[in-house]
């Protein structure tokens, strides 16, 4: 699905990605983790074409993404912070995104799932952060692309909505999709991820199952394993 080959990215003198290599060839849920400044966001934005690397190549389904905007039709992306136009109503934003994507959409089930019916006629500027995140989730999941990239999807969600999110993500996985997730909530990652991709100083420091990570760090839970990983030898 995704091959990242020898990726470099600098911002000024700051090297954010350094000879990064990553292969994700099977469907499943992959958690992209690492400390602040490790390169997670830059990697994701490089895959999305929002950041242009200084060197290296990225292919999606065997096709190079460089100078090929159409590949983005294969991706549904949930940004960490959604800057919605405050003067639009929720239903107007949903309709606008549907018109822009021009793809079949299944928004009604998601609106019902996240109980957004009472907010459809409200302007986005009046919504709470948690409700905006639910709108963000609807806009992401209402299409049917093979690759999903979810940047901190749990932000602001109440417990019931968090359960619905986990259920929906697992349904998407069951369809054979590849899902990349970033999150600082290790309980969420532990419950949902098939593999951990851990970045440190712009490189892939570890890629493997949660169980392999806990074994290598000699820890009994994922949270402690993540805390300990930087002190253990690299194993990509």
Whole-number pLDDT of residue 110: 96
How many CB atoms neighbour CB 68 within 10 A? 12
pTM: 0.92
Q: Considering the domain boundaries, does residue 124 fall inside one?
A: no
How many CB atoms neighbour CB 77 within 10 A? 19
Given a cut of 70, whether residue 233 has pLDDT beyond it is no
Q: Considering the domain boundaries, does residue 100 fall inside one?
A: no
Whole-number pLDDT of residue 236: 52
Strands 203-208 and 195-200: antiparallel
Task: Tell me which DSSP letter residue 160 carries.
Answer: H
Whether 199 contacts 32, CB under 8 Å? yes
Q: Give the pLDDT confidence of 212-230 residue by residue, as tens digits.
A: 999 999 999 999 999 898 7
Q: Considering the domain boundaries, does residue 189 fall inside one?
A: yes
Domain extent, residue 59, equals 2-86+144-231
Q: What is the layout of strands, in order, in the sheet containing 14-24?
A: 14-24, 2-11, 55-60, 63-64
Q: Give the pLDDT confidence of 62-98 residue by residue, as tens digits.
A: 888 988 888 888 899 999 887 888 999 999 999 999 9
Q: Considering the domain boundaries, does residue 103 fall inside one?
A: no
Task: Report the interhelical angle of 129-141 vs 90-101 (nearest 10°).
Answer: 30
Proportion of the chain in helix, strand, coil states, percent, rounded to 5:
40, 25, 35
Whether 186 contacts 217, CB under 8 Å? no
- Looking at residue 74, which CATH number applies to its domain? 3.40.50.300
Only one residue has tokens 């242009």, namely 52
Report the share of the chain in percent with pLDDT over 90: 78
Average pLDDT over residues 22-32: 93
The Cβ-side half-sphere exposure at 8, using a 13 Å CA radius, reads 9
Coil, strand or helix: which one is 127? coil
| Residue predicted with more confidence, 103 or 179 | 179
Distance of alpha carbon 109 from alpha carbon 103, whole angstroms: 16
Q: Look at the chain and report how many structural domains it folds into.
A: 1
Which structure tokens are listed for 20? 């990064």
Q: Considering the domain boundaries, does residue 192 fall inside one?
A: yes
Whether 47 contacts 72, CB under 8 Å? no
Q: Considering the domain boundaries, does residue 107 fall inside one?
A: no
Q: Give the pLDDT confidence of 144-167 residue by residue, as tens digits.
A: 999 999 999 999 999 999 999 999
Q: Considering the domain boundaries, does residue 125 fall inside one?
A: no
Q: Considering the domain boundaries, does residue 30 fall inside one?
A: yes
Whole-number pLDDT of residue 226: 92
Q: Give the pLDDT confidence of 91-125 residue by residue, as tens digits.
A: 999 999 999 888 889 999 999 999 999 999 999 99
For residue 76, list its beta bridge partners: 148
For residue 24, list its beta bridge partners: 2
């Amino acid at each position: 699905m995704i091959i990242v080959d020898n990726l470099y990215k600098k911002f000024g003198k700051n090297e954010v990605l350094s000879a990064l290599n990553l292969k994700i060839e099977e469907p499943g849920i992959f958690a992209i983790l690492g400390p602040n400044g490790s390169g997670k966001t830059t990697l994701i934005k490089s895959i999305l074409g929002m950041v242009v690397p200084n060197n290296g190549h990225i292919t999606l389904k065997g096709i190079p993404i460089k100078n090929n905007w159409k590949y983005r039709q294969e991706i549904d992306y949930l940004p960490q912070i959604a800057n919605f136009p405050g003067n639009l109503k929720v239903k107007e934003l949903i309709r606008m995104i549907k018109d822009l994507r021009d793809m079949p959409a299944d928004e009604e089930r998601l609106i019902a799932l996240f109980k957004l019916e009472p907010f459809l006629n409200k302007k986005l500027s009046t919504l709470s952060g948690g409700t905006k995140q639910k709108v963000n989730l609807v806009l992401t999941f209402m299409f049917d692309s093979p690759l999903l990239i979810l940047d901190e999807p749990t932000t602001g969600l109440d417990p019931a909505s968090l359960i619905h999110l986990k259920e929906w993500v697992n349904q998407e996985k069951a369809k054979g999709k590849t899902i990349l997730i970033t999150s600082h909530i290790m309980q969420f990652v532990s419950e949902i991820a098939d593999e951990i991709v851990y970045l440190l100083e712009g490189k892939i420091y570890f890629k493997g199952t949660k169980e392999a990570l806990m074994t290598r760090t000699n820890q009994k839970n994922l949270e402690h394993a993540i805390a300990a990983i930087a002190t253990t030898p690299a194993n990509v």
